[in-house]
Every structure is written in C-alpha cells, then in structure tokens.
Amino acid sequence: MKLFLLTQLLAALLFGSGRPNSSVRPAPPRQQRVTVYVFLAETCPISQQATLPLRELHARYAAQGVRLVGVFPGSTATAASLSEFGRKYAVPFPLQLDPGQKLTRRLKARITPEAVVVAADGHTILYQGRLNDQYAALGERRSLSQHHELADALADLAAGRPVAVPRTEAIGCFIEK
C-alpha cells in the first residue's frame, strides 16, 4: 500500500494535471471520498472521445472529494505523449503512466476507456465499467448517450447511497498485456 501511495504521489508530482503548468490540489484526506481511475490510451478513438464527459465529471465532483486520475497502461505511452494528450484534449485531472501495468492488473482493467471507482480505503471497488452507453459495440456509436453509468455511480455515492449498478461492460480498445 505504501508503494502504491508513493507511486501515486510521484506520478502527480511528475505529470501534474493534464493541463500544462497547472497545480494539482487534491482534496484533503478527510474529504476525499473516492478515486476514479480511468484507463485511457492516446491512440484509442473511444478514449479520446471520453475526455469530454470526463471533464464534465471532474468539474461536477472535484469539490466533493472525488479525484479523477487518467491511467495509461500502454507500453508505448510516455511522459511526453501523456502531456500531449492532456493538452490536446484539455484534460484537467492528473494523467499517469502505469509501468508494468501494476495498477491495471490490481484493478483488473481490460479496456480503454474503463472507469474504476475506488473507495477512500484504497481497496474497495464501488463501480467498474463504461463511462456511458455511447458505444453499443465496437464501431456502433450512438449519436446520444442514453445511460451515464459512471455519472450515475458518482451521483449515488454523493447522495450517500450504494451504487445501483456497480458493474458494466466497458467497450473500447483492449489493453495489451
């Protein structure tokens, strides 16, 4: 656990937020409710399109102690490619590499984009799956999402309720092991 926390701190210091020259101000430990790890890939079009709803969720829930972290498990991801991704898609939350895919394996992420909501204890998974139903299947994109599972999960948690749908299937690009 100490190694995991040290890795998180180091990543935040090295990469900061997705925006260049912005400072990261995590919620004080008492107020931090959950961390949302969103597994992304710079070259995955579905990951790229996911940045808009992720920016909206960050704006809505950051003040309530919800921390978003973009995780890049791909072997081709570099600090420079993360910085470029953050700049290009105006990502306001921290982005981090996952060397050796330790976090990816621990949270059993398989797809980009895939969200994993972890409780403040750092272990309990409260939600895992897709952000929304914009994709019915690979290559089948809806013009408008009808279900927003990640947003619904965060709304449940903010209201003090258990997550109504704790698991969905993410649709996107496979994470290469």
Q: Is residue 24 part of a domain?
A: no
The residue ranges of DSSP E strands in 2-133, in sequence order, are 34-39, 66-72, 95-97, 111-112, 114-119, 125-129
User: What band does 14 get if pLDDT is binned at 50, 70 and 90?
Assistant: very low
The residue range of the domain holding 45 is 2-19+29-174
Please provide the average confidence, as pLDDT, over all residues in the chain: 84
* pLDDT score for 31: 57
Query: What phi and psi values does residue 94 have, to the nearest 5 degrees?
Result: -65, 145
Mean pLDDT of 163-167: 97
pLDDT bracket for residue 28 (50, 70, 90): very low
137, containing H or E segment? strand 135-137
Q: 10-19, 83-92, 110-119: which has the minimum mean pLDDT?
A: 10-19
Q: Is the pLDDT of residue 57 over 70?
A: yes
Q: Which of 2-11, 46-55, 147-156, 162-171 has the lowest mean pLDDT?
A: 2-11
- Tell me the CATH number at 133: 3.40.30.10
Strands 95-97 and 66-72: parallel
What are the residue ranges of helices labelled H in 62-148?
A: 79-88, 102-107
- Per the structure, the count of domains in the chain is 1
Query: Which residues does residue 34 pair with via DSSP β-bridges, in sequence order?
Result: 66, 119
What φ, ψ does residue 56 adopt, rounded to 5°?
A: -65, -45
15 found inside a domain: yes
pLDDT of residue 27: 41
pLDDT at residue 29 greater than cutoff 60: no
Q: In angstroms, rounded to a whole number, what is the distance separating the alpha carbons of residues 98 and 136?
A: 28
pLDDT for residue 108: 97
Say whether pLDDT at 19 is over 90. no
Contact partners, residue 62, CB within 8 Å, separation at least 6: 27, 68, 93
Q: Domain for residue 157, yes or no?
A: yes
Span 45-53, average pLDDT: 95
On whether residue 9 sits in a domain, the answer given is yes
| DSSP 8-class letter at 99 | G
164: in domain: yes
Give the C-alpha separation, 106 to 146, whole Å: 30
Flag the least confident range among 1-10, 83-92, 123-132: 1-10
Least-confidence region, from 23-37, 42-56, 105-119, 125-139: 23-37
139 pLDDT higher than 50: yes
